[in-house]
Structure 1
Amino acid sequence: MISWRKHYKRGLIAIYVLLSTSASIYAQGDAKNGEKLFKANCVACHALDKQLVGPALGGIVDKVKKESNLDTSWLKKWIKDNKSLRESGDKDAIAIFEKFNKVEMLAFPNLTDKDIDDILEYTTNPPAAAPAADAATAPDTNSVAALEMAQKQSMNSKVILISLIAIGGLLLWLLLKLRQLVKLQQTEELAGLNASRAVSFGDLYRKYSYVGKGVLVVLGIFAAYGIWNWLMWVGVYKGYKPEQPIYFSHKIHAGENKIDCQLCHSSAKYGKVSEVPSLNVCMNCHKMIAEYNGKYIEPGKDKAFYDGEIQKIYSAVGWDPASQQYTGKTQPVEWTRIHNMPDFVYFNHAQHVVAGENAIITSYNKKNPEAKIDVVCKACHGQIDTMNVVQMANDFTMGWCIECHRTTEVDMTNGYNKEYFKNLHDKLKKQYGSGTKVTVAAIGGLECGKCHY
């Protein structure tokens, strides 16, 4: 009997050890810390509930255990250096590489075993989302107090309306009484004279002809000025911000995420025009970002709205997020152009973005100390990183450009400019004094042929 109990006890201990060993796969790390590490290192290519560039990682420990009989030690080798694991001849590592289009996963040698345990714990047992606000704490709009408040507001509105009607009636009564008083004070002789008097417009004009002609001249001048002013502002669309077929928020991309302007508008640095980035540029990021998880949401919008706009990109380029492949079915996107330089004007972005970068930023910050800029693009396009919808921030008239050329100083700290414009600088010092500065106008910035050729 004692022997049987002893074996029974040992059996229970063995079962407990077995269960605890298998359970330890799921409870070896800190899920909260794992969530932070996952978002910092994995979220660009993986999600818990769906495939992105890589497979869905929700319950990945259990999956590799059931499908390939692999444990967490293999996962750690894969995460730290999957390339070395493949080169060692590991069949499972090679099979995963082949399955996901031979897209090589980044190596993470910086992650410790404890870090990976935390990440795996997060993929197995993600922390529950914060509970929604208790409905009991919400204000009860049907309570007695709420009804009484609504009745009071309705009564106040009625009192105000009745008071306004009474005041209007009183004013009308006063006007009628004043009219009666005026009629009483008028004598019979004066009343007859006013009734029989007839004034000819021709007599009145001949009597005051000079005044009339002067008024006509003034009106003519005002009319001519109005027409001229209207003509001068033809084609000036400051504040113009049309809706685009796919919503794009510069505030989210350039502001919240600090993406450099020239990452998308690369041709602005090397060419005449900045161009509208192709959707292939968008897919460099959105191939791995299928939904919006940012903290900033524009008033009137929600996460579903942003997710829908990302899906428009996928439809346009023919991208299937499920298979992570292009279908070949594309749709052109008809963007609405905002900035359009006239054909008779030559403007080179590279000349301003590269050669004039320091000079333009320095000059702008001197003239606008309360709204300094850190990127040369903002000098013309405004605070682009704060715009949800891009708008034309300046006039872009000839006078606006000339004023900039007259006030922007050439960067003489540049070794090339310092040597090339040395004689010009010395000449300006003799002509205007030692405090004179070399501006863009001084080096030909006002010559007609520079912009009109």
Structure 2
Amino acid sequence: MSIKRSLLGVSFRVIHLMVLFFLFLGFQAYAVDPEVPDSEDAISAGQSIFNANCKTCHRLDQKLIGPALRGVTDRRELDWTKRFILNSQVLVQSGDPIAVELFEEYNNTVMPPMDFLGEGELMNLLAYIEYGDKAEPEAAAAAGDAAAGAEGGSAGGIPSEYLTIILVVLVIVLILVLVVLGLIVSVLTKYMNNSDKLDAEDKEFINQKTDYLAILKSDGFIVIVTTIVLAFVVKTAVDGLYTVGVQQGYAPSQPIAYSHELHAGQYEIPCQYCHTGVEIGKSANIPSANICMNCHMHIQNVGGQEGISPEIAKIYAAVDNDQPIEWVRVHNLPDLAYFNHSQHVAVGGVECQTCHGPIEEMEVVYQHSSLTMGWCIDCHRNTEITTRGNEYYDKLVQLHSESKDALKVKDIGGLECAKCHY
């Protein structure tokens, strides 16, 4: 029995060393510069700076137009990071290899200088970048990185893909531990068999064969396997529930192959020219064939109507037959939700791409954002109100002047149920 206790003791020591090793790797993978403040005030102030200046192109934990920012003080020297934030082009033009590599990697996109930030504001910004909330508002949308799949996981919670990774890693670690323990037992068994200090009873105990069938039938093994299977089943069910009613990535075929990439992108036709109701009403409205003809009656192909493309011929047919074009609706909110385009576009100054994504790059229009309740609420929580030149907000700005954060939609009732639900 003393040998059995020795084997168990060695096994526990190996497991202990493995745990320490994984913890070491975890701490090494993310080490923030100690100079970066971690107070709540610094993080909150940094969030305001980030939302006002960085949010358009960056996210903390995922690549957007620019790289993911969290951990930048671990990857780069603090002084270099601050100089890059203040004016990245100075470093690029000086030939700094890291700055030049980043500039070329992200398609020579020029990052606007932020030389108006003081030392304290820079450190606050870095505090939010390193310690800010990891559940970013638009994680599901992932604008700019082809996020056309269905939304998985709850807003503000652990992303679905992270849960999958965690479960897989746990299973792999469990298998590795069992393999290592098996190897240790095998090595120790051979070592003990070569020893002259063991009597016949000890050698019989060491060389006894493992009854794997009994292990497979044991209560402990059944509980472990059942738990793993149930975890995956429950996770799959929860993911499925969160995608009910979410049509992110929906791109139906239209009766006419209209290209936004050509019209809004190449020809730079403003969205408001075709979607005339976007600044004056609740709905943006779908353009009629007559609006299409405003342009196409002047740019028809040489040779008359017979020389036009089959898709444009469908527009002529709709006008000649006085029949509407039956466009398929792409974005559809539930009837219980109230959304007013004019309030957001004309009053709030919200760009079309904020909700609809890079519409000027879409050959076929698809639903870019999840348009879930959580997605809308996160937008109201983080969107600052443009108050300059609008006397309507003067009193609200005065009442909000003592707050450290900028005036946001949430501060004017943007989170009240009745704002969106009748």
When the two structures are superposed, what TM-score results if normalisation uses the length of structure 1?
Answer: 0.43
Structure of greater Rg: 1
TM-score (norm 2): 0.46
Q: Which structure is higher in RCO with an 8 Å CA cutoff and minimum separation 6?
A: 2
